[in-house]
Amino acid sequence: MRLLIFSFVFTSLLSCNQKEDVKKVVQVKRDTVALLPDVSLKSVTDQLTYEIKLVDSAGPGLGSITSKYDAEKGVLGFRGALSRDMVSEGRLNERPKAVKMEWEFSTSYDGKKTKFGVWGGGNGWTGQPLLVNWDYKGIPASALAHKPKANKEVIISSLCGKVYFLNFENGQPVRPSLDTYNPIKGTAMFDPDYTGHLFVGQGINETGEFGFRIFDVFKGKLNTFVSGIDRDAHRGWGAFDSSPIKVGNYYFWPGENGMLYKFRMLDGKYKLHSKLVYHSKKPNKSSLGIESSMAVYKNYGYFGDNQGNVVCVNLSNLKPIWYFDNVDDSDATIVLEEEKGIPYVYIGCEVDKQGATGFSFLRKLNALTGEEVWLNKMPAHSVFAGEKTFNGGMLSTPLLGKHQANDLLYVSISQPGNSHSGHLIALEKGTGKVRFTTKLNAYSWSSPVGYYTKKGEPIVLIGDVVGNIYLIDGLTGEKIFVKNLGSNFEASPAVLDDQLIIGSRGNKIYKFKII
């Protein structure tokens, strides 16, 4: 099929009609408007150059924008929901005292020496397990025919290159592992329509096949490989550390080549619909690449990239809606929350392009316009060890407080100020002011997760890079429990009731229970 290319380079100001559209966007409410406006705002026209490469003759559209993600289905992608916050509703009967191990599983170990070091196994940054609930009442009969011998299935992709399928209750394998033959750093996604498709991104190129894979879990084999070395991309790095998302009939997957892919699965086969390729008008374009997973509100998608660009796109046609410059590498996934009918996003960055020292710019933005609500600049620094650099700032995804902590946002800051450790910080959602700061024994790239007692009291759980697990009072910052239970918790947990699954660097996957 002939490739149709639509190039857009805007420099003009908004028209009067566009300004009126912006006012309508700000006033929009979820229950009264089906689709948000298809209007590129002035931030895009002034600061972004982009192309939409349309391949599929189906034209623009999504199908239904009703979320396909539900807590009853499980945690099917990174942070489990369109808003990337489905890890904040763990349940506790009472205030906890400790964390105990229920089981551990050993992955294979990749000992090959590469220019990036030895990757080993287990789970690393930005990995997270998936939890599939096979007791969900809406599963199609065609999928139930392939139900494993487990009511709840853990799917975890490993730095050794393999994907494992485990019984949540005992950690025993329930399906044969699948192999990508390359280290996997990111989080997979299980199709929320239970088609059996599993989408796995590749982190490092060891075999020459550099991109993402779609497996048919029910058949136990590879369906599709898509190369990330794309001639349309501005960057020749083909990794996919982000976790894709499904909206309507389409899947969306940001790549480290600096492109956003939109595609369908027709009759079980991959069909590319369109691609967004873009760059900001900053002088330096070489660092372009998307490692964060995309958050979604209705037909709008949100992501940050290695250059500090934050982009909102209309998922119907991939047209950028607004742009924001967040200064530095923004690998942490955006989280989204609606307040009084208006959605807001939280975004933070690392200290990377700024040099050895700088700030993590944590912001709250209006998700409809990109307008800044507040900014908190948190000083941090990077550590240099030989050829390796350990960036400071925010490398993990924020946690939205709920219940008694409904007014709080929790963030993890690595190497704050002159410290080599880390801080868990609670900020007021309304103002961005710090409510409390809890010092960790080491820095943390692992995203914090939340638990709540029957009274709605918040408990935050977080791991650090030397293997400590912490339980922290979400209202006061008090450390309730600290113990070394692993080797290096870079990866993020998946939560179910009073339990969690998390992987560590090395070759271990753990199930823990809060007691």
For residues 384-398, average pLDDT: 90
The C-alpha atoms of residue 179 and residue 160 are separated, in whole angstroms, by: 9
The C-alpha atoms of residue 292 and residue 187 are separated, in whole angstroms, by: 11
For residues 480-506, average pLDDT: 97
For residues 135-149, average pLDDT: 97
For residues 193-214, average pLDDT: 94
At residue 1, does pLDDT exceed 60? no
Q: Percent of the chain scored above 70 by pLDDT?
A: 93
CA-wise closest residue to 132 among 194, 195, 83, 85: 194
For residues 206-223, average pLDDT: 95
At residue 21, does pLDDT exceed 70? no
DSSP E strands in 58-196: the ranges are: 74-75, 90-91, 99-106, 121-122, 130-133, 152-157, 162-167, 173-179, 189-190
Among 57-61, 65-69, 438-442, whose mean pLDDT is lowest? 57-61
Among 8-17, 44-53, 385-394, whose mean pLDDT is lowest? 8-17
More confident residue, 175 or 15: 175
Task: Kindly state the DSSP code that residue 380 receives in the 8-state scheme.
Answer: E
pLDDT at residue 285, rounded to an integer: 59
> Which tokens is 253 given?
């997957």
pLDDT at residue 130, rounded to an integer: 98
Model confidence pLDDT, tens digit, residues 224-277: 999 999 999 999 999 999 999 999 999 999 999 999 999 999 999 999 999 999
Q: Round the average pLDDT of the chain to a whole number and report it.
A: 92
Among 14-28, 166-180, 358-372, 468-482, whose mean pLDDT is lowest? 14-28
CB atoms within 10 A of CB 258: 26
Contact in structure between 90 and 495 (CB atoms under 8 Å): yes
At residue 28, does pLDDT exceed 80? no
At residue 430, does pLDDT exceed 60? yes
Model confidence pLDDT, tens digit, residues 457-469: 999 999 999 999 9
pTM above 0.85, yes or no: yes
Provide CB contacts within 8 A for 200, sequence distance 6+: 157, 163, 178, 180, 184, 188, 212, 213, 214, 215
At residue 180, does pLDDT exceed 50? yes
At residue 32, does pLDDT exceed 50? no
Model confidence pLDDT, tens digit, residues 283-294: 765 668 999 999
For residues 1-17, average pLDDT: 35
At residue 423, does pLDDT exceed 60? yes
At residue 347, does pLDDT exceed 80? yes
For residues 350-355, average pLDDT: 94
CB atoms within 10 A of CB 13: 10
H or E stretch at 372: strand 372-381
pLDDT at residue 286, rounded to an integer: 63
pLDDT at residue 8, rounded to an integer: 34
- Per-residue pLDDT band for 20 (boundaries 50, 70, 90) equals very low
pLDDT at residue 277, rounded to an integer: 96
Model confidence pLDDT, tens digit, residues 84-131: 999 888 999 999 999 999 999 999 999 988 877 899 999 999 999 999
The C-alpha atoms of residue 184 and residue 245 are separated, in whole angstroms, by: 18
Q: Residue with structure tokens 């399906």?
A: 175
Q: Percent of the chain scored above 90 by pLDDT?
A: 87
Provide CB contacts within 8 A for 244, sequence distance 6+: 77, 189, 199, 201, 212, 251, 252, 253, 293, 294
pLDDT at residue 354, rounded to an integer: 94
**Beta strands 449-452 and 90-91, pairing class:** parallel
At residue 25, does pLDDT exceed 70? no
> Which tokens is 158 given?
């490993």
Task: Kindly state the DSSP code that residue 109 receives in the 8-state scheme.
Answer: -
CA-wise closest residue to 381 among 412, 405, 350, 411: 350
pLDDT at residue 113, rounded to an integer: 86
Query: Which residue segments constitute the domains of the chain, with CATH numbers given?
Result: 4-514 (2.130.10.10)
Please give the C-alpha separations between residue 234 and each of 227, 274, 278, 329, in angstroms, as whole numbers: 15, 16, 8, 17
